[in-house]
Amino acid sequence: MLDLGAAVGLALAVTISPPRRDPAGVADLEALVARTWSRRQPTAVGPWLLRVSGGFTLKANAVAVLGPVPPAELGSMIEKVEAFYTSHGLPTCFEITDRVSDSALAPALLERGYVAARGEVEVTLLSPLRTLRSIAPAVRDGRVVISDTPISGWLDRWWSTLEGCDESQRDLAAELVWDLRGRCGFASHLVDGEVVATGLGLIEGPWLGMYCLGVGADRRRRGSARRILGALATWGTANAALQGYVCVRDDGSAARSLFEGLGFSRCYRSEFLRRTS
């Protein structure tokens, strides 16, 4: 995850793809994901959602663009959004996906001095839960438990696996996760009583979002991630969910390879444009 103050990039890096045909339910999923990581109810400005979470992660403090804006209103809406984020002491940032058709937005932002946030390209992947239920490795060391609230050691383990986060944001992260109590299941892989890996499952209708996947450095490539995902898929199915989704950085890291190897397929891609002045 990225400290907002460190997000820099080049306008030339912007490659918003043409919109693809929208599969049934993807628009609902995108809106669901947009609302998930925000410490307060997002503020709606037309088809845009303004998210604020004190600066913890770029996504949770960016405008979610969920639809096009009439060209005549675009300039005034951008100004309104910029005033909103300035009042919260945050730089203005837009999350634009390749699912939304608004050919005027990105050029308008670039003209105002926005740049692509380097290293902050995200892809949302999908998989039927029936595919994921059987992915746990054969060697079963320890056990996976899923609870309504984080057990002791869960937050410490998850936080220890994040990259690029300022320690001052730890309390913000804890508050964001704590606010999800009652809406999700906190997964912990326990070995000899120690939390060695974490995950979080959030159910909304037929969708199971899988977040906070974190594996301790000494446990990587030993099946912990698969154990967590398999347990969450089983739990989600038991709670009437049908499809699982994850949001990962599209930066060539091992995370995307892991999910694609488990049968996840690309749903949509997000890029972030950040105001620099």
How far is Cα 130 from Cα 112, in angstroms, rounded to an integer?
46
What's the pLDDT score for residue 56?
78
As a whole number of angstroms, the longest Cα–Cα distance in the chain is 62
Amino acid at position 145, single letter: V
Low-confidence residues in the chain, pLDDT < 50: 1-24
DSSP string, the chain: ---GGG----GGG--PPPPPP--TTHHHHHHHHHHHS-SSPPEEETTEEE--STTSSSGGGSEEE-S---HHHHHHHHHHHHHHHHHTT---EEEEETTS--TTHHHHHHHTTEEEEEEEEEEEEEEEHHHHTT-S-S---SEEEEESSPPTTHHHHHHHH-SS--GGGHHHHHHHHHTTTTTEEEEEEEETTEEEEEEEEEEETTEEEEEEEEE-GGGTTTTHHHHHHHHHHHHHHHTT--EEEEEEE-SS-HHHHHHHHTT-EEEEEEEEEEE--
What's the pLDDT score for residue 20?
39
% of the chain surpassing 70 pLDDT = 87
Hey, which CATH number is domain 128-268, 3.30.70.1140, 3.40.630.30, 2.60.40.1940, 3.40.640.10? Answer: 3.40.630.30
Residue 87: burial class (beta carbons within 10 Å; 0-12, 13-18, 19+): exposed
What's the pLDDT score for residue 27?
78
Domain boundaries, the chain: 4-122+269-275, 128-268
